[in-house]
Structure 1
């Protein structure tokens, strides 16, 4: 929880010291207080050997063998890890035999249908990890098509699909170990796999997903391999989390800069993460509309409701200020 306090306290201090209008400062700080009380519940699942634990450890610097409170008493096989306000539910996928698969499927359905105290789905996001080194993904597609998607309710955007072990997709061939990235032939192979997964899920469920490939990294003796595309994975996780809960990740991500060094360079995912976190602080709980009404009365001539629709993202430079504060917080992590 100390990281949580540090992030919120820094954000509050910097907002107070900014040149924003007082009305906007008050709203943003009130917003921070709201965000501090939120929790993210993320369900992580995938077939045996897909690398769930290594992914969790890489993203959140959490030793899942030490952090947590054991199994969920209602769904037995699902392990629960509490990292401050981030709660991870680690569930077995299918592929452990018919009897075990039936039990896992039943427990997954129960967890997906669970509601929080406000009547909303407990699970904010489902991360399905596929094994990129395996040609047979049939059990994973069965998991997605028959268990996860049918129990997501109306919000089908709660599912992310990520293909781990990209470095082993061609049995280790085509991976540039010195630069920790795929060579052109392997890159084409991975892109084709991503498209195949996307198309297959669309055909079987009607749901559009944006799979990515990555490597959670590993330590082989004294020569560890850094993760690849981990920043891209974190960007997707943050982006598809409800706006009013995105700041929670700021308190939990791995502080080891090496974890975030290697990506496909197609986009600055770090900047996207900052955009999403700044949007969370400046817009959640309709703060834009509230600020708009306040400032609308001051500047006159423009109805507050019109400014309210513009939102805190533009008004008074609030979004830019919050993003700048977030960037200074993450600077040491992402290497700015």
Structure 2
């Protein structure tokens, strides 16, 4: 429970005009684009020769339940930290230039497949700080039809190469923690973008290694400082995630770094019934986007486990054996494991 000074009640009338209605309760509406991941998995299940009809029916019902969810994600940060770049790298096949809905609001709204991404500045960075603060407060106080908060996740994007990044906890504490209330730790994700620039500052513009050891140590120390201040000042435990939406080497934008780790973190942070909706989007394709990461964990395996567990109720960590997804759950588990692995490779457009 947060201290009394961090509790806040807001008037959400300012924001209700732009409210996104939960797709599962909207009548006569349909998703903007084909639900590619769900449809692909459903087709693979239907055509699989080694699954009983009863098991196929249970999986199909499960997919139907999961596909009725919707997501709302708020992305905030200073000007130029890479908020839009991050969204574009995650969901690169979406037509971003044609879908921004701004009107008179300080928050820009992007609508994908039952996913609404809200994008805006922190109030301290806005030309209209009071309006921005009011809109963020109103959005975070909104509830969906089931009575739960409308916004599932709040992403704070920081610039890793900024000289005053360790002061970012002040903005997070004053602007967001108070508005998120007692569920702040579950709904807040802190991101440190542009980690490639740290390596360039330390080693020079044409550094060969994406993340040399000295740059990694500096970033880990900065991340630890932010984590410490948030724990000490507001009592929440959040570890910032280090990544580059578009990493630059030798003066050219070449690839993303730790984007697959970011996707895995977002899936863990989301409510279990909504995790697969994040995969059911127009994701960026190719190894250059998803392959390069810090190798501290096999993040695609984590995503596979979460996906498998969401579909096969009662499963845990994909119930792997010898690295094979679903191997502990018999032939049905192995069959579903193959479907999940192949479906994810197709959705991400990766070769491995």
TM-score range, shorter chain: 0.7 to 0.9
For 1:82-117, what per-residue CA distance to the aligned partner results, in whole angstroms no more than 9, with x for missing partners?
1112210102114336x6233222211111111112
Partner residue of 2:343 out of 326, 329, 332: 329
Change (3 A) 1:88 1:154: same
> 1:6-155, aligned counterparts within 5 Å?
6-16=36-46, 17=48, 19-61=50-92, 66-71=97-102, 76-96=105-125, 100-137=128-165, 140-155=168-183
Unaligned runs of 5+ in 1: 290-311
Query: CA separation of 1:3/1:103 partners in 2, compared to 1, >3 Å: closer, same or farther?
Result: closer
Q: Which runs of 5+ in 2 are unaligned?
A: 1-30, 316-325
Provide TM-score, normalisation by structure 1: 0.81
Q: Distance in 1 between matches of 2:200 and 2:112?
A: 35
The 1:2–1:117 alpha-carbon spacing in structure 2 relative to 1, beyond 3 Å, is: closer
Q: Is the CA contact 1:130–1:137 (under 8 Å) kept in the aligned structure 2?
A: yes
How far apart are the structure 1 equivalents of 2:272 and 2:74?
Answer: 18
Deviation of 1:13 (Å):
2.8
Q: Give the Cα separation in 2 of the matches to 1:318 and 1:154.
A: 41
Contact between 2:207 and 2:250, CA under 8 Å: does it hold in 1?
A: no
1:316 and 1:52, CA in 2 relative to 1: closer, same or farther beyond 3 A?
same
Mapped partners of 1:222, 1:142: distance in 2: 33
The one of 260, 265, 276 aligned to 1:247: 276
Q: 1:247 to 1:146 in 2, by over 3 A?
A: same
C-alpha distance in structure 2 between counterparts of 1:190 and 1:124, whole Å: 27
- 1: CA distance between counterparts of 2:152 and 2:220? 28
Does 2:280 align with 1:264? no
The answer (yes or no) to whether the contact 1:133–1:170 under 8 Å persists in 2 is no
- Range 85-94 or range 140-149, more displaced: 140-149
TM-score normalized by structure 2?
A: 0.78
Q: Distance in 1 between matches of 2:107 and 2:238?
A: 24
RMSD across aligned positions (CA): 3.0
Structure 1 stretch 156-165 or stretch 134-143: which is displaced more?
A: 134-143
Q: Distance in 2 between matches of 1:67 and 1:214?
A: 27
Cα distance in 2, alignment partners of residues 34 and 178 from structure 1: 48
In structure 1, distance between residues paired with 2:335 and 2:32: 24
Q: Give the 3-state SS of the residue equivalent to 1:130 in structure 2.
A: strand
- 1:227 is aligned to 256
Taking the aligned partners of 1:70 and 1:79, their CA distance within structure 2 comes to: 6
Tell me which residue corresponds to 1:278: 308
Name whichever of 48-57 and 221-230 sits farther off. Answer: 221-230
- Aligned length, in residue pairs: 307
